[in-house]
Structure 1
Amino acid sequence: MAVAVASWRKALRGAACFVRGVSCFYVVYNYGGFLSKVDGPSMFPTFTGRGDWVVAEALPGLSDRVQVGDVVISTRPIQADENIIKRVTAVEGQTVNVYKAGSLAPVQIQVPPGHVWLQGDNLILSRDSREYGPVPLALVKGRVIAQLWPSMKWVERKLK
């Protein structure tokens, strides 16, 4: 009996790996998607930050496709050789309240045309638009649609 259970587990693991691979191939082939690794705690609990792998769809002509709640991959505005994965919390024309160190009242910032406001889901451990301001849409490379590893799940468009 134990041998049969072990065989089924091995077969299921292989099937899960196959499904992940086919899903990844489908996205890349049909949508110009790409894979990215998530390191660091800034997007916890959406991602563990310990080597998660995600699939993102490339977003040509972004201005009308990025929405509040999307998880996106962007070039870090203050370090062009590094990518970041953050959630869009405001789009052009919207206002955000930012608390500056030592201030009790928030500063209101309006997101300018052609920009988005990006924040990590784990605000305490995230370096994001609160540090470097609105991010130009030209730096946004894609929208994360699914997590492949350590577990397979769709990434929802929502604010936590």
Structure 2
Amino acid sequence: MAQQTSAWRRYMQAFISGFFVAVPVTVTLLDKLAYVARVEGASMQPFLNPDVGAQCDVVLLNRWSVKNYHVQRGDIVSVVSPRNPKQKIIKRVIGLEGDFIRTLGYKNQYVRVPDGHFWIEGDHHGHSLDSNSFGPVSVGLLHGRASHIIWPPNRWQHIKPSLLPNRELLYTEEDGE
């Protein structure tokens, strides 16, 4: 009986010490490298959540790839909402700093994206709270880049940057140089 108690005590000590090492390591990895997020709503349809009423897509958000605030046109990104800092939103990057874009209902029909900002939109125009509502978004609000759809299993795929056909740029400052 004494041996069982001693073995149980050693097991619990090993478990607790492992737990106190694993938790900080896991939190650090999730904070610096990647984490998963559930995509809710219709704003990114048809690319994300294509089946209305079905399961929500779950994406892998790569934090490491945006640590220097580098994104490209067509990336799907997670940003802290400019309207509600407690909420993160997932949208597609349409324009980068210096780009001239045609908006879809913003107060100005054409906008030059200011330095340190980018223009984001949901794929389902009219069902998305995006830059057409609040304007260019500071790169400081960038939280992660969606790299894979990981749930449901039949939708598993790598996410490649792409723009919808009607969202090409008008002009970039690089074109003028």
TM-score where L is the length of structure 1: 0.74
Instruction: Give the number of aligned pairs.
Output: 128
Q: In the alignment, what sits opposite 2:163?
A: 159
Q: In the alignment, what sits opposite 1:120?
A: 122
Distance apart, 1:99 and its partner CA: 4.4
Uncovered stretches (5+) of structure 2, i.e. residues with no partner? 1-25, 165-177
Which one of the candidate residues 57, 61, 64 is aligned to 1:56?
Answer: 61
Match of 2:118, SS state, is strand
Match of 2:126, SS state, is helix
Determine if the alignment matches structure 1 residue 98 to structure 2 residue 103. yes
Distance apart, 1:51 and its partner CA: 2.1
Q: Distance in 1 between matches of 2:81 and 2:151?
A: 23
Question: Taking every aligned residue pair, what percent have the same amino acid on both sides?
Answer: 30
More strand by percentage: 1
Q: In the alignment, what sits opposite 2:74?
A: 69
Q: In the alignment, what sits opposite 2:39?
A: 38
Question: Deviation per CA, 1:125-156, whole angstroms, max 9, x where unpaired?
Answer: 11100000000001011110000111211112
Structure 1 residues 33 and 126, CA gap change in structure 2 (3 angstroms): same
Structure 1 residues 54 and 100, CA gap change in structure 2 (3 angstroms): closer
Structure 1 residues 96 and 39, CA gap change in structure 2 (3 angstroms): same
Structure 1 residues 109 and 81, CA gap change in structure 2 (3 angstroms): same
Distance apart, 1:124 and its partner CA: 2.3
Uncovered stretches (5+) of structure 1, i.e. residues with no partner? 1-24
